[in-house]
Amino acid sequence: SSRALESGDDLALQRLHALFGFRAFRGVQRNVIDRVLAGQSTLAVMPTGAGKSLTYQLPATMLDGTCIVISPLIALMHDQLRSAEANGIRAATLTSVDENRAETVARLRAGDLDLLYVAPERASQSHFRELLSQCRISLFAIDEAHCVSEWGHDFRPDYRLLRPLMDQFPQLPRLALTATADAHTRADILTQLGIPEEGMIVAGFDRPNIRYAIGTRDGLTQQLRRLLAANPGPGIVYAQTRAATERLAEALSDGKREVRAYHAGLAPDVRAANQSAFVGSEDMVMCATVAFGMGIDKPDVRFVAHAGLPKSIEGYYQETGRAGRDGDPASAHLFWGADDFARARMRVQEVDETRQQGERTRLSALGALVETAGCRRAILLRHFGETPPETCGNCDNCLEPPKALDATVTAQKYLSAVARTRQMFGAGYVESILTGQSSERASSQGHDTLSVFGIVDGEEAALLKPVQRALLVRGALLPTEHGGLMLGPEARGYLKGELPLDLVIPPKRERERGR
Ligand code: ADP
Ligand code: ZN
C-alpha cells in the first residue's frame, strides 16, 4: 500500500521521509493525506497505533497556513507538541496552562506555525474566532472526533462548538480523526462536523498479533500473579478506581519485577516519573486507570489486562490496542464479574434519559463479547463494521472452544424464585430457596412452602451461579439498591419460554496464561 520512493515528484512521500524518517505510508494514511491536500473534508477512522497524527501533521507542513488541531486533553496536546517539534514541525499549544500564549499568538499571526493545538472550549470564544479570521489557516484537524457524538462513548459537549467555528471558514477542509467509532457514531460525526459521506475513510481494524482472552474474576490477585509470571515483557493492568490501582500495584509487587501505579490523583512529578520509567523499561507492570497509555509511545507493551469490565467495546479495543504496536505477539486479558454488569446497569439508570438506550446497547455489546462461545476477534471486528472470518485462531475461544449448555429451564426456575420471593433478596438466599435449605428466615417468610422451594438439586445446583451471572449480563435480572435481585425488562422472554439461555462452559484452562 505504499508508493515507491523513485517517484521523485511525490512531494508527500519526500516529506514523509525528510520529516519523519519513514519510507512508506501505512494503511490508509496515503488516502487520507491525498484528500486533505486536495482540500476535501474527511473522517479518518483508524485504530490506535495506525498513525493518525501523521495524517494532519504532514499536510500541515505542506499547506499554506496553520493547521488548527482540536484535542480534548491538555496532557495529550503537550505530548503531541513534543513529538511534532522533535520532527522539526513548527507547532505550539494554546491552553490555559501555557505561559507563552502571547508569543504563540504572535507566531500564529506571523504565519510561523504549521500546527496550533487548542482545546474545544477555546473554539467557542469569540476572540479566538476573530483571531483566526485575521490569520492564514490551512486546515481544521479534530482529534478524538467521537467526542462530538452522544452515541460515542466519550461525549463532550464542547465538541459541539466546533461546527459553528468551522462554518465561518467554509473553504477550509476538516479532518476528523477517531479510533473508536461504531457505525452509528461515525454517521453522527459526519453530520455533526459537516463532512460528506464519501469523505469517510476506514482503516482495517484487525490487530492480528494480539491474542484475546476473557474470563470471569475468581481470585483476581492470584489470577494476575499467574498472568505476570507467564508474561515477562512490559504490561499494563487497568483497574477501575485510583485506589484499586494502588492496591493491585502493592499486591503484585514481588521484589523482583517492578510494579507501579498510575492515576490522575498522583502528584504530577510522580506521575511523570512513573510514566517515563515505564516507557524505558523492559519488564515493568503499570497498574493504572484508563487515562494511562493515551499519547504515550511504547510499541513493545506485551500485555494489557483489565481487572474489570471496560466502559464499552470501543474503550476495550482502544485500551487493548496499546499492546503489541511493534507487531510482535502480545496478549489482552479481561477479568469480569456479574457485579460489573450490575453496577453498570445501576449507572445507566442515572444518566440522562436520552442517553440510556445508547448505554444499554453498549452494555449488551460488552455482554455478547464476554459471554460468547465463539471468536472474540470476530465479535470485535463486526462491531467496527468489518466482516471477519468466523474464527481467528488467536483468541481463547478459537484455541480451546468452550462448550455451550442449554440452561433455559434453570434460568426459568431462577427467575420464578426471584419473583415468588417478591424481588427483595440476594443471590445467596434465592439459591438457598431453590436448593431447599430450610432456615428460620425461609419459614418465617413462608418461602419453604413455595413451589420453587427445593426444585434444584445435584448437578443443576452448580449452574445457579453461572445462570445468575448470565441473567444479570442480559438484563433479565437487575440489582436492587439494597443488594437484592429483581426482575429486569428481559425476564419475561425467559419466563415465557421465548428466549433460550445458553451457558458458555469454559474448558479448564489457565486463561490468563497468555501465549
Ligand atoms: P494513533 O494516533 O493512530 O494511535 P500515532 O499517530 O501515535 O497513532 O502513531 C503510532 C506510531 O506509528 C508512532 O510511533 C508513529 O511514529 C508511527 N508511524 C506513523 N506512521 C508511520 C509510517 N508511515 N511508518 C512507520 N511508522 C509510522
Ligand atoms: Zn478467535
Report whether 331 contacts 232 (CB < 8 A). no
Write the CB contacts of 371 (distance below 8 Å, at least 6 apart in sequence): 470, 473, 504
Which ligand is located closest to the Cα atom of residue 141?
1
Q: Is the CB of 185 under 6 A from ligand 1?
A: no
Report whether 316 contacts 310 (CB < 8 A). yes
Element spanning 272, H or E: helix 268-280
Give the per-residue pLDDT at 332: 98
The atom of ligand 1 lying closest to the CA of 83 is: 16
Element spanning 76, H or E: helix 74-86
User: Which residue lies with its CA nearest to atom 18 of ligand 1?
Assistant: 51
Q: Is the CB of 44 under 6 A from ligand 1?
A: no
What single-letter DSSP state applies at residue 262?
A: E
The atom of ligand 1 lying closest to the CA of 29 is: 23
The C-alpha atoms of residue 216 and residue 198 are separated, in whole angstroms, by 42
357 burial (CB, 10 Å; 0-12 / 13-18 / 19+) is exposed
Given its phi and psi angles, is residue 51 left (phi above 0), alpha (psi -120 to 50 degrees) or beta? Answer: left
User: Which residue lies with its CA nearest to atom 23 of ligand 1?
Assistant: 25
Q: Is the CB of 48 under 6 A from ligand 1?
A: yes
Q: Is the CB of 410 under 6 A from ligand 1?
A: no
Q: 394 alpha carbon to ligand 2 midpoint, in Å?
A: 5
Mean pLDDT by 10 residues, the chain (515 residues): 52 94 92 97 90 96 97 90 94 94 96 96 89 97 94 86 95 94 87 96 92 96 97 96 96 94 94 94 96 82 97 92 92 96 89 86 93 95 89 96 94 97 95 96 95 94 94 91 90 94 80 43
Task: Name the pairing type of β-strands 303-306 and 477-479.
Answer: unpaired
User: Which residue lies with its CA nearest to atom 27 of ligand 1?
Assistant: 51
The C-alpha atoms of residue 260 and residue 255 are separated, in whole angstroms, by 12
pTM for this one? 0.76
The C-alpha atoms of residue 449 and residue 61 are separated, in whole angstroms, by 79
Outline where 294-407 has alpha helix (H).
313-320, 338-350, 353-371, 376-383, 396-399
The C-alpha atoms of residue 36 and residue 470 are separated, in whole angstroms, by 47
User: Which residue lies with its CA nearest to atom 15 of ligand 1?
Assistant: 51
Which of the listed residues 22, 55, 175 should we mutate to test ligand 1's pocket, taking the one with most ligand atoms within 8 A of CB?
A: 22
The atom of ligand 1 lying closest to the CA of 22 is: 24
Give the per-residue pLDDT at 181: 67
Which ligand is located closest to the Cα atom of residue 45?
1
Give the per-residue pLDDT at 3: 45
Give the per-residue pLDDT at 5: 45
Q: 295 alpha carbon to ligand 2 midpoint, in Å?
A: 28
Which of the listed residues 20, 33, 178, 279 should we mutate to test ligand 1's pocket, taking the one with most ligand atoms within 8 A of CB?
A: 20
The C-alpha atoms of residue 284 and residue 278 are separated, in whole angstroms, by 6
Q: Is the CB of 394 under 6 A from ligand 1?
A: no
Q: Is the CB of 71 under 6 A from ligand 1?
A: no
Q: Is the CB of 22 under 6 A from ligand 1?
A: yes
The C-alpha atoms of residue 458 and residue 73 are separated, in whole angstroms, by 55
- Per DSSP, the residues of 230-256 read H--S-EEEE-SSHHHHHHHHHHH--SS
Radius of gyration of the chain (CA): 26
| Residues 178-202: b if buried by 16+ CB within 10 A, e if exposed | bbbbbeebbbbbbebbebeeebbbb
Residue 371: closest CA among 470, 500, 482:
470
The atom of ligand 1 lying closest to the CA of 25 is: 23
The C-alpha atoms of residue 458 and residue 18 are separated, in whole angstroms, by 71
User: Which residue lies with its CA nearest to atom 25 of ligand 1?
Assistant: 22
User: Which residue lies with its CA nearest to atom 17 of ligand 1?
Assistant: 51
Which of the listed residues 46, 54, 142, 298 should we mutate to test ligand 1's pocket, taking the one with most ligand atoms within 8 A of CB?
A: 54
Q: What are phi and psi of 405, to 5 degrees?
A: -135, 130
Which ligand is located closest to the Cα atom of residue 212?
2
Please report where in the chains the cell 464479574 appears, as a residue.
337
Give the per-residue pLDDT at 372: 93
How many CA atoms does the CB half-sphere of 276 hold within 13 Å?
A: 6
Q: Coil, strand, or helix at residue 460?
A: helix
Q: Is the CB of 86 under 6 A from ligand 1?
A: no
The C-alpha atoms of residue 1 and residue 21 are separated, in whole angstroms, by 18
Q: Is the CB of 223 under 6 A from ligand 1?
A: no
Q: 207 alpha carbon to ligand 2 midpoint, in Å?
A: 12
Q: 511 alpha carbon to ligand 2 midpoint, in Å?
A: 14
Q: Coil, strand, or helix at residue 122?
A: helix
> How far does the chain reach from its first CA to its final CA, in angstroms?
30
Give the per-residue pLDDT at 327: 85
Q: 139 alpha carbon to ligand 2 midpoint, in Å?
A: 41
Other beta carbons within 10 Å of 117: 25
Q: 380 alpha carbon to ligand 2 midpoint, in Å?
A: 10
Residue 467: closest CA among 508, 430, 509:
430
What single-letter DSSP state applies at residue 420?
A: H
Residue 182: closest CA among 424, 389, 408, 380:
380
Which ligand is located closest to the Cα atom of residue 369?
2
Q: 294 alpha carbon to ligand 1 midpoint, in Å?
A: 13
Q: 8 alpha carbon to ligand 2 midpoint, in Å?
A: 43
Q: Is the CB of 297 under 6 A from ligand 1?
A: yes
Q: Is the CB of 51 under 6 A from ligand 1?
A: yes
Give the per-residue pLDDT at 150: 86
Q: 311 alpha carbon to ligand 2 midpoint, in Å?
A: 22
Distance of CA 140 to the CA centre of its chain: 25
Distance of CA 87 to the CA centre of its chain: 29
Report whether 358 contacts 150 (CB < 8 A). yes
Q: Is the CB of 21 under 6 A from ligand 1?
A: no
Q: Where are the beta strands (DSSP E) in 143-281?
A: 174-178, 200-202, 210-216, 235-238, 259-262
